[in-house]
Amino acid sequence: MSTTQDFLDFIAASPSSYHAAEEVARTLVAAGFSRQDESAEWSAAPGGHVMVRGGAVMAWYVPEGAGPDSGFRIIGSHTDSPGLALKPTPDFDSAGWQQVAVEVYGGVLLHSWFDRELTVGGQVITKDGNRHLVNTGPLLRLPSLAIHLYRKDEFKPDRQRHMQPVLSVGTPETSVMGVVGKQLGVDPEDIASFNLITADAQRGEVFGAGERLIAAGRMDNLSSVHASLRALLAAAKNADSIEHKDVLVMAAFDHEEVGSTSRYGAGGPILGDILTRTARALGANEEQRFQMFARSSCVSADAAHSVHPNYAEKHDPTHHPIIGQGPVTKINGNQRYASDANTVALWESACRRAGAPVQRFVGNNDVPCGSTIGPISATRLGIPTVDVGVPMLSMHSIRELVGERDQLWLGDALEAYLVG
């Protein structure tokens, strides 16, 4: 199977952050990693380890000979994407239609969600305490208002009134939780709680007359999650040829799209917990743990903006990263990105070793700049960090656009960072 097809399969299997975390863990366990229980004694035995906390997944590979004189080489990313999250009481009727009550999660590009079939995915907790993952397949739709009834030039949907998908018509007995329960084989009355979100039900596709392009949902930021997973697997497979003794870490957080302030997010303790417990398991005392952190580095991998041909004025005139010309180093003087001169040099050296071209993004002074997990985790842990990503168009749309070569180059460069 090609890397691109594996990427599209990964996206299709990951309609929610919970699915993405479990898919990473499943892939790593199949490759020989051991699953770590947070409530059990911590393992830093040579080899691979993986832990899932909600929609976040942390994995670490301990080389032979690692100890208190090692450091950590970390790739950070996030598993969540903007979407429409189901409210606790989701079913309601309106004008003969059965609809689903949702709230907008993250910075959704609202207009792109209309007239697409939506799957419902996420985690369900039943009254017996068991956790289930569900992916309904095409189930909901947000129908547009016909142009004959809407003569305005600019479409501005009301987030409360106009963003509630339809489930059915003329069948008041139909409910979204009934569909979810049937798929899980449980009575809807036995569902205690859930975290469910909508996602595009259409599979990603590769197209293009020349440069091969990938169109798919949730590539912000499954593009980075998949590339970092591929990098960690490749590094672990060739661990015998790695000369350094640093611990290799993949940290895919949840809730980046809403600020990262959760026990699953980069603003929470999860990465610090992993690093501290691993250091202790390797025999490091508190002073040696600080020394290990001082030897460490982090690549924060998240989607980057490609210059848009119809809105080129929105970009800095001297920095025009574009799809098809390599991964992007993201730089911001106001610390919206964590990159500095040292970490930029570290990352771009890895790109050169991997044979990947390098581009740089700096925002237009008149256009607000987004941010990433990079500044958050760097602030929490004091570990030098660089922000990078594949150039993307239609960011936060239900269906985003990246270049196939850029996606491959990102994985190769992340591998070079881990092993070099």
Q: Pseudo-torsion of CA 250, 403, 106, 149, nearest 10°?
A: -160
Helix (H, G, I), strand (E, B) or coil at 229: helix
77 beta partners: 252
How many angstroms separate the CA atoms of 300 and 347, rounded?
A: 10
Q: What is the largest CA-CA distance in the chain?
A: 71
Which residue's entry shows tokens 């390098």?
358
Decide: 300 and 372 in contact? Cβ < 8 Å: yes
Residue 30 pLDDT > 80:
yes
Residue 155 pLDDT > 90:
no
The whole-number pLDDT of residue 368 equals 84
Would you place residue 259 in the very low, low, confident or very high pLDDT band (cuts 50, 70, 90)?
A: very high
Instruction: Give the containing element (helix H, strand E) for 104.
Output: strand 97-105
92 beta partners: 99
The whole-number pLDDT of residue 188 equals 94
Decide: 403 and 324 in contact? Cβ < 8 Å: yes
Would you place residue 358 in the very low, low, confident or very high pLDDT band (cuts 50, 70, 90)?
A: very high
The predicted-structure confidence for 368-404, as pLDDT tens digits, reads as follows: 888 999 999 999 999 999 999 999 999 999 999 999 9
* Tokens, residue 205: 């596709």
The predicted-structure confidence for 38-72, as pLDDT tens digits, reads as follows: 999 999 999 999 999 999 999 999 999 999 999 99
**Going by DSSP bridges, is the β-strand pair 191-200/385-389 parallel, antiparallel, or unpaired?**
unpaired
Would you place residue 213 in the very low, low, confident or very high pLDDT band (cuts 50, 70, 90)?
A: very high
* DSSP class of 315: B
The predicted-structure confidence for 276-299, as pLDDT tens digits, reads as follows: 999 999 999 999 999 999 999 999
